[in-house]
Every structure is written in C-alpha cells, then in structure tokens.
Amino acid sequence: MIWEAMAKEFQRHKLRTVLTMLGVTIGIFLVISISSVSEGIMSYVNEKVSMTSGLVTVVDKEAGFMVKMSRIDEDIIEEIETISGVEKVAPILFVDIPGVGSIVGTTPDSDDVLGRSKIEIEEGREFEEGKNELLLGHKYAESHDSTIGDVMKINGTEFEVVGILEESGDNDIDNVIKDLQEATGKDGVVSVIMIKPETPQDAENIEEEINDNFDDVRAATDKSIMNSANRMLSQLNVMTFALGSIAALISGIVIMNVMFISVYERRREIGVMKAVGATNKQILFQILAESIAISLLGASVGLALSFCGTAYLNIILLQPIALVTPRLIFVGIFFAAFIGAVSGILPARQAARLNPIEALRYE
C-alpha cells in the first residue's frame, strides 16, 4: 500500500519530482566526482610507491603526479650519476599512441634498478637495443590476439613482438627507450628517471641534492611522495566536505519544501487513511519513505553521471586519475539517504499529527 501510494504521488507530480531529484543529482555528482579524484590519486600513488620502494623518482617539476606528461632532458642523467650515493640510474619514457596503446621505454640493463617492479616475461624473451623489438602486456596481447613474431607499426616504424609479459592487469607495451625515442620523435627526452641509491640512507641525500641543484626537475623518495600526496588529498578532502555540506543544505531545503507542499495538498487523503485505521507511525513512515526515495533516485542518477564524468576525465588525462570505488558508491547512497531522512522528518511529523476530522473537512 505504501509503495503504491508513493508511486502514485510521483506520477501525479512528475515534473516536481524530477526537479526535486535534480538538486540531489547535482550534489551527489559533484561530491562523488571530486572524491573520485582523491581516491584515484591515492590508488595511483600507492601503486607507484609500492613499485618504487627504496628508489628515488625524478620527474618534470611541472608535471607533478602526471608522469605521462613529464618531459625531462636526458642530458641530466650523466650529472645525476655523479651524485654521491647513486648506484645506478634507469630512464623511462611513457608514450601514448592512438591505435596502439601505452608504450613504456626502458633500457635493457635497467632490470637491477626496476627489479622490484619488473613484470616477468610469460612467453618469448627480453628485447634488444637497436633491433626494433618490443614486449606486449598480457592484457594487450590477449585483446589484440597478438603473438610472438607479430610486427607492429609505431609512427611508420616496424617493431617485432619478441615477448609477452605475465598477467598483471597492465595494458602497456614495453620496448627499448632509444628505439621508442626515434620512432616517436622524442630524441633526448625521457619521462621519469629512477635512481637506485647505494644504501637506503642515501635516498634522502640524493633527493635533497637534486632538488637544490636542478631547476627543471623534482626528486622524491617513496616517503616524500606519500607525504605530498597526503597533504594534497587533505586539502581536497576539506573542499569535498565543504561542497558536500552546501549540496546537502540546498538539497535538503528543496526536498523539505516539496514534502511540506505534498503534505498540505494531501491533507484529505491522509485524513481518509487515518479514518480507515492508518496509525501515526504508518503515516510518518510513508512521508519519510517518499522523501528518502526521491533523494535516492536523484543519487542514482548522480552516481551514473559520476561514472561517465570520471571516465571522460581519465580519457582526457590519458591515465586513471579518477576512480569511483565501492566505498564512494556506499558513501553517496548513505549521504543521499541521510539527506532524504533529515529533510522528511518535519513534513512527516506534520502529516502524522493531522487530526483526521479536520483533515477530512479540507477541500
């Protein structure tokens, strides 16, 4: 009975219901979208830090966490190698090529630097410099039906597939950095420089010396990367909380106003329900359920838009920097239900306290 009455009320005032939902939709969309950036950054940082534990990472100062946008002149590698405490340096180049995918260029002798994060070769062998060879990520090889011996064209240059990496959820193509630089016109440019210190204690000294003496790049240990990420995310979380509070206030006022109008318009209907035996609790629950239902319907649309928005943002930025996690979905639903419940309490109490005799007299 309650659900039938709710559906009937929504059908009777379709436009009003949609406009009321719209306020919640916009609020949930904004809160989830901004929070998804926070979730994505933390997930990305945790993944990269776990892969580079104990190493010093050098990126373009202007790129920040967007390593695929980082551009570093490889001439500074020789200068970095002379820094006290540096055992070995490994340059990495990230390139996104339409129709091909994400390509990672490294040097064949970088294994001992990147050994902790190096994915094992499932089939085939390692690439060799100067032979236009590459490795394929397991996911890429599977989705493109690629095998050992296939030839791929990258900007007109042919590369032979000599190996396929084990499954890791990664979609990257891996090859020699020099060959990749020549094929993509990025001679003398790398995206990231990974430094292996002689001892763990040398990492902070290397970081400090690079930051003090090199103007265009920024060095960071795994510890300082996490500290920077946490500071940035703290500021983002404050903004998200402020935005959420404003969205909740506006949405709550709109829903409360609509529910008061609904109760006023349905006074005779409520009087009839009480006259035939409906209790105050049943009336209270029906109005409250309507308020929560409107809020949850708006939240569902907002969540759907958030998925679309984050997907679009990731395409624009060329990496998954925004992530809608199950935790965010739960928070969004709970947040909407809370708004609906709080906004519907006063109108519901007003409906429950109506005198059935007076309500029946209402025209």
Same domain, 39 and 79: no
Same domain, 79 and 162: yes
Same domain, 68 and 164: yes
Same domain, 253 and 164: no
| pLDDT: which is higher, 6 or 289 | 289
- Residue 204 sits in which domain range? 62-215
Per-residue DSSP letter, 68: G
Same domain, 175 and 244: no
The answer to whether 263 touches 347, Cβ cutoff 8 Å, is yes
Domain boundary among 173, 188, 215: 215
Element (H, E) at 213: helix 202-213
Domain count, the chain: 2
Same domain, 28 and 127: no
Same domain, 154 and 246: no
Same domain, 303 and 211: no
The answer to whether 55 touches 112, Cβ cutoff 8 Å, is no
Q: What phi, psi does 89 have (nearest 5°)?
A: -125, 140
- pLDDT band (50, 70, 90) for residue 169: low
Same domain, 202 and 316: no
Q: Does residue 57 form part of some domain? A: no
Which tens digit of pLDDT belongs to each residue from 109-160? 676 666 544 567 778 887 777 777 778 777 777 777 888 888 877 777 788 8
**Distance in angstroms (rounded) separating the CA atoms of residues 50 and 118:** 12
Same domain, 94 and 174: yes
Q: Does residue 49 form part of some domain? A: no
Element (H, E) at 124: strand 121-124
pLDDT score of 55:
83
Q: Does residue 163 form part of some domain? A: yes
Mean pLDDT of 28-37: 84
The answer to whether 318 touches 68, Cβ cutoff 8 Å, is yes
Same domain, 196 and 277: no
Element (H, E) at 239: helix 222-265
Domain boundary among 215, 238, 264: 215
Same domain, 100 and 202: yes
Lowest mean pLDDT among 93-102, 244-253, 346-355: 93-102
Predicted confidence (pLDDT) at residue 63 exceeds the cutoff of 50: yes
Q: Does residue 53 form part of some domain? A: no
pLDDT score of 46:
72
Predicted confidence (pLDDT) at residue 164 exceeds the cutoff of 70: yes
**Distance in angstroms (rounded) separating the CA atoms of residues 146 and 82:** 42
Q: Does residue 55 form part of some domain? A: no
Q: Does residue 353 form part of some domain? A: yes
Angle at 67 between CA 66 and CA 73, to 5 degrees: 125
Domain boundary among 187, 215, 243: 215
